Structure 1
Amino acid sequence: MTGKVTPALSGPSLTVREVEAMDRIDRVRGIGGMKAALLALMLSPALPGRLRIWQEETAVVPEAEAIRADVDLLGPTTRLPWFELLLARMGASPLPDRQAMLRSARRVLGPPGLPIDRLMWLAMRRHFGEHVPTRAHGPNDPEISRLVIADVLHVAHFTAHLARMVPSSDPAAGQAWYQVVMSRWLKPAETPPWQRPDVDALVHALNGLQAMSWMQRPQVVRTWVAAALQTSQGRLLDNGAADALRLSSLLLDSPMPPDLARLYAEIDPD
């Protein structure tokens, strides 16, 4: 393939079939092919009805089924890196193609949905030019341990959504993780009780997090990952939790902490 792929430092190694599939996916550059690949990455065995919608949305793409077969060969260390890379490539396409892609994705990700779907949707909007620019870092930015209450509430609301996936899909474990994260800034008696945010609250929280300084956002991500490892059995992140945290890093324009980055293969876009 034209890009260099570095296997993850931990977890399963890449199979020959997976590497060959990535080689073929890397050669997909047309709008229709990239759309078929991106939508295939949104399919889930837990929601078999999505396949019918995918077929409707890719009916005019002759190679769609072959592309989906290659996407199915991707493992947990490569699926999200390819999702991000294809988003970046599709983000350079003309506006009408990006808008059509968003409409198709909305259909595939429509109800019933999964918690990760909202993060994938927000990531698509970000790559397609629909995100709030972050404010410039200034000398008077507060330290991460002294966030203003509005920023703490943004962290709380976004963390509450992540708690549906981190450190696992177990609600009790997620709520325990939420408490550990928020103890970074608030005493237990001051922490808002866990409550699942609706879409508007989640987007509002994300906008607030994206507006934090470039020094603060990575600190929030590191707090999420450290708390996830602390509350995970065996100090290991499961695939769903890792994907949620990686997408959150992307949405906050923050580098991934090493404990998270090492769970994925590195794919060089060049």
Structure 2
Amino acid sequence: MQFRQHQRAAHIRTARLIGLFALLLLALTVTVNLLQALLYKLILPFSVGFPALFFETNTGLVMLFVLGGCFVEAQRLRDGGGPRVAHWLGGREVRDPDDATERRLLNVVDEMALASGQPVPRVYVLHKEDAINAFVAGWGPDDLVLCVTRGALDRLTRAELQGLVAHEFGHIKEDDLPLAMRVLSLVWGLSLIHGYGRTLMAPDEKGHVGPLSWLIGLVFSITGWLGWMAGKMLQAAVSRQREFLADASAVQFTRSRDGLGNVLRKLWHDQQVLAGHMRHPAAGMVSYLLMNEPGAAGCLSSHPRLSERIRRVCGTILPPMPAPLVRMDVVEPRMLPTGGLALAANTVPTDPVLSAAQARQMREARSREALIRLNNLVGPTERRMITLALMMNIHNERECALWHHMAEGIHEAQRILDDVAALAANRHILEFERLTASIANDPIEQRRALVESARDLLRADGKVSPRERLWWLALRHRLSERQNRQAYMRPTTGQGHDLQDMSLDQMQHVTALTTYLARFIPIDETGKGLAPAGLAWFKGVMSRCGRPTDVSPGSSPDADALMHALAGVQELSWMMRPLLLKAWVEEAVNNSAQGVLSDQTADALRLAAGLIDAPLPPMLEAHYPSKA
């Protein structure tokens, strides 16, 4: 399933359907005028023309009922918003539950809020509903609610509950709720014409019905009924497309097809065996908001066929799946809600140690949230732009301006930059490696274009620093053809087992590359190389290679000499390259403040390790969090 393509297609179809709704109102107005004109000629066949303001009055009445009814219904829906809808259906809000399934639900909601980057809604449980279902309601973050049936809590596994909740967050992310309420208001407005026609056809207190009044009412009733039916069909069509979009978003948020796919299969089984009906009589009012609308079919169904949704999510039509009660073997602890750290940020603690701890917690929370959002961006263009953002200097105005130009057409491009900036410093290179490992499977033309874009971006300010060149070389190396990279890993023989066994040519290559790295290794926390520390680092590495301790680095190699030196070091044996990297790392630790590598120094060493295809020493690997 190509989720990005489905999302774009659903957006286009929804826009077309909304446009058709406007055309429907215009067609309804024209139809009313035509029928009223025909009725007038049937009653007065010999009249010339039509009375003054005849068509204007008919048009005004149609607009008054439709638009006025829309306004009235919208105001009613705004009164109370999502909580009112939840209370209509007998929902009870879940805050700090003792029930294990409700605690699991709150944890899942918090997780999906982070994964989707959306606000955490108020959570309600419909305890009298045994069917598997859920919906979200509200106009915005202030009145947003998520309602889940008791049947969903009792009969879905955790992964399936994630798929169900993620589907509802898909509606929130795509701003479906205001759209659904506005369409509902329009349909209700269209139904008023039918109601007005029925009123004109109704007898008065004496039981009399005027023929003219009855004929006019018949016209309004028939036209209004047609308009109401067309509006319901349009509402159903809009809802169907948004369901496909929410399904795609759910897979994006959970990064799994199985959770949502199994939910849809269990819903299908409920429809076939148990009918899957909601018990509350007001459930029909929000049928188009539910995860699935039981019993409806054809053009008036607000949801697509479950078999089609399963096919799009799973890639094939899988059979229905029974939904027995799920046993809770593990009782989850209640996780800290997302808003907890934000609340702490607004408090002023008296203990400075506590303040530092809170600040660290908030940074870690922002980093985790940013990491989740970045991992959820799986489009090829998004992956490339995140890679470039990880390489560039986010505080460089020219580089940022060029990056935004390259990112034209990406939704919320600034959010990508903000999330990259929020990442923990020791997470940048891990994300760089994750993304480049994925991009390495792209066609050669796309990989070459990314390398060229990185080159243009890093020199946007007219200069390329030694550190930026190292990032660019690492990008080019990681995106190179795999068979060419394997040549560097061949077990070359005859090179000895110690750095002092290197030949003169090999020593020249190592010296040149170490000279280049000495310009920014070690690096302090401000990103500036320290000349005394860099010189001491160079001499320490050279002494391990058997060079005199008074050797000086000399001039740094130019671009051609650097590439030649790098190729020579890459030709070292599989035993020599790890020894060289170990010397780089240990001497960097010896010459770093308090013997602790800065994040910039560790990143430079890790990039260098990738360039020479050497495994990370434990001392360097311990600087980074586990990839898991």
Give TM-score, length-normalised by structure 1. Answer: 0.88
Identify the match of residue 185 of structure 1 among 535, 542, 545: 545
Partner of 2:556: 196
Please say which of residues 19-28 and 216-225 is displaced more in the overlay.
19-28
Contact 2:392 2:468 in 1 (8 A): no
Q: Which amino acid aligns with 1:226?
A: E
Structure 2 distance, partners of 1:189, 1:40, is 40
Residues 1:134 and 2:488 are matched in the alignment? yes
Structure 2 distance, partners of 1:200, 1:85, is 29
Contact 2:370 2:420 in 1 (8 A): yes
CA deviations on 1:40-83 (whole Å, 9 max, x unpaired) are 11231553321011011111222422222211111211011111
Structure 2 distance, partners of 1:126, 1:235, is 30
Contact 1:42 1:108 in 2 (8 A): no
| Cα 1:46/1:157, change in 2 over 3 Å | farther
Give the secondary structure class of the aligned counterpart of 2:426.
Answer: coil
Percent identity reads: 33
Contact 1:102 1:124 in 2 (8 A): yes
Identify the match of residue 226 of structure 1 among 586, 589, 592: 586
Q: Which amino acid aligns with 1:221?
A: L
Report the number of matched residues. Answer: 260
Structure 1 distance, partners of 2:556, 2:412, is 40
Q: Which amino acid aligns with 1:90?
A: I
CA deviations on 1:16-41 (whole Å, 9 max, x unpaired) are 22112111211222111011101111
Structure 2 distance, partners of 1:69, 1:181, is 38
- 1:39-118 alignment to 2 at 5 Å? 39-45=388-394, 47-110=396-459, 111-118=462-469
Instruction: Give the CA deviation at 1:136.
Output: 2.1
**What 5-or-longer segments of structure 2 have no aligned partner?**
1-114, 116-253, 256-359, 524-528
Contact 1:163 1:178 in 2 (8 A): yes
Partner of 1:28: 377
Structure holding more helix per residue:
2
Structure 1 distance, partners of 2:603, 2:490, is 28
Q: RMSD of aligned C-alpha atoms?
A: 2.2
Structure 1 distance, partners of 2:489, 2:621, is 26
Contact 1:135 1:212 in 2 (8 A): no
Give the secondary structure class of the aligned counterpart of 1:134.
Answer: helix
| Cα 1:235/1:197, change in 2 over 3 Å | same
Partner of 2:576: 216
Please say which of residues 179-188 and 192-201 is displaced more in the overlay.
192-201
Structure 1 distance, partners of 2:623, 2:584, is 16
The higher-RCO structure (CA 8 Å, 6+ apart) is: 1
Give the secondary structure class of the aligned counterpart of 1:266.
Answer: coil
Partner of 1:8: none
Give the secondary structure class of the aligned counterpart of 2:378.
Answer: coil
Contact 1:175 1:194 in 2 (8 A): no
Q: Which amino acid aligns with 2:618?
A: P
Structure 2 distance, partners of 1:99, 1:167, is 31
Give TM-score, length-normalised by structure 2. Answer: 0.39
**What 5-or-longer segments of structure 1 have no aligned partner?**
4-11
* Structure of greater Rg: 2
